[in-house]
């Protein structure tokens, strides 16, 4: 655990430690790996409606769709992270998330897993050992109970 956080965490009983502000993330799967974005950004999870490709858009955008009248631009998280492409499967979902610009964007993922709560000492903030393209979007590594999940920054993923 980084020194700075240790200094900030309240010292004392386990109950106090549990009350330390845990952050909630929504975990999803891409291939065999787990990734997550902060839960507060996520509005909704939907089964992919028909997507309409937008010519001339950046390659990460797989298209637009309408979710109950709302026009949503959908980003393929695989393409954002420069991962190998994969055909959409039965479990594919779109996370509707609030981008910093106020726009609602869609994140196309292979499968949505669960909400995970990470206490500050379960988050490793630096992630220097990934490739450049990936590092840009990684804010840290979550280690919930021995697990391993890559925490992604929504803002950099949809705003380039």
Partner 1 sequence: MTAGGDRAREEFHSEAQELVETFSRNLLTLDAALRERREDPGLVNETFRAVHTLKSLAGLFGARRMAQLAHHLEDVLDALRLGKLPLTPEVLDLLFRAAELFAAALVAEREQTGDPLPAIGALLREFEQARAGPVAAASGVERYDLDPAMLAVLTEYEEHRLRSSVERGLSLFRVRVDFDLFTIDKALEDIKAQAKAFGEVLTYLPTGSAPSPDRIELDLLLASGEPLQVLVAALGGPHVTIEAIPLRAGGAAAPRTPLPPVVASLPSELPPAARLPADVAIDGGVDPAALRAVSQTVRVDIRRLDALMNVVGELAIVKNALARMAERVRAEGGRQLSSELHSIQRSFDRRLGELQGGILEVRMVPLGQVFDRLARAVRQLGREMGKDIRLVITGADTEIDKLIVEELSDPLMHVVRNAIDHGIESLAERSRLGKPTAGTIALNAFQKGNHVLIEVEDDGGGIDEVALGARAVSLGHLTESDLASLGRAERLNLVFLPGLSTRAEANDYSGRGVGMDVVKTNIARLGGVIDLHSEAEIGTKLTITLPVTLAIVSALLVRVEGRVYALPLTSVAEALQLDEGEVRSIDGREVITLRGQTLALCRLGRVFALPPVAGAREVTRRYVVVATLGARRLGLAVDELLGQQDIVIKPLGRSLGGVRGFAGATELGDQHVALVLDPGALIDEMLAAPLEAARERRALHA
DSSP the chain: --HHHHHHSPPS-HHHHHHS--EEEEEEEETTEEEEEEGGGEEEEE-----B--TTS-TTEEEEEEETTEEEEEEEHHHHTTPPP----TT-EEEEEE-TTS-EEEEEESEEEEEEEE-GGGEE---TTS-HHHHHHEEEEE-GGG--EEEE-HHHHH--
Tell me how many degrees the CA angle 156-158-160 measures, rounded to the nearest 5.
65
How many residues bind partner 1, per CB under 8 A?
Answer: 27
Considering only 10, 50, 128, 146, the residue that binds partner 1 (CB under 8 A) is: 50
**CB of 25 vs partner 1, minimal distance in Å:** 22
- Of 86 and 103, the one with the shorter C-beta distance to partner 1 is 103
- Of 34 and 61, the one with the shorter C-beta distance to partner 1 is 61
**CB of 107 vs partner 1, minimal distance in Å:** 12
Considering only 53, 59, 89, 146, the residue that binds partner 1 (CB under 8 A) is: 53
Check binding of 151 to partner 1 (CB under 8 A). no
Subset of residues 73 to 92 that bind partner 1, contact rule: CB under 8 A: 73, 75
> HSE on the CB side for 93, CA within 13 Å?
17
**CB of 158 vs partner 1, minimal distance in Å:** 6
- Of 89 and 102, the one with the shorter C-beta distance to partner 1 is 102
Considering only 24, 44, 86, 159, the residue that binds partner 1 (CB under 8 A) is: 159
Query: Which residues contact partner 1 (rule: CB under 8 A)?
Result: 49-50, 52-57, 61, 64-66, 68-73, 75, 99, 101-105, 158-159
């Amino acid at each position: 655990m980084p020194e700075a956080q240790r200094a900030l965490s309240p010292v004392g009983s386990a109950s106090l430690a549990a009350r330390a502000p845990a952050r909630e993330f929504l975990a999803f799967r891409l291939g065999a790996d787990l990734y997550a974005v902060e839960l507060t950004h996520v509005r909704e999870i939907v089964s992919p409606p028909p997507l309409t490709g937008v010519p001339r858009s950046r390659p990460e955008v797989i298209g637009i769709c309408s979710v109950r009248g709302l026009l949503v631009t959908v980003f393929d998280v695989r393409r954002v992270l420069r991962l190998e492409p994969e055909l959409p499967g039965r479990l594919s979902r779109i996370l509707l998330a609030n981008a910093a610009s106020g726009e609602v964007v869609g994140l196309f993922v292979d499968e949505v897993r669960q909400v995970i709560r990470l206490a500050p000492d379960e988050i490793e903030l630096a992630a220097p050992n990934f490739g450049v393209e990936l590092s840009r979007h990684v804010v840290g590594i979550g280690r919930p109970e021995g697990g391993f999940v890559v925490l992604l920054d929504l803002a950099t993923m949809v705003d380039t």
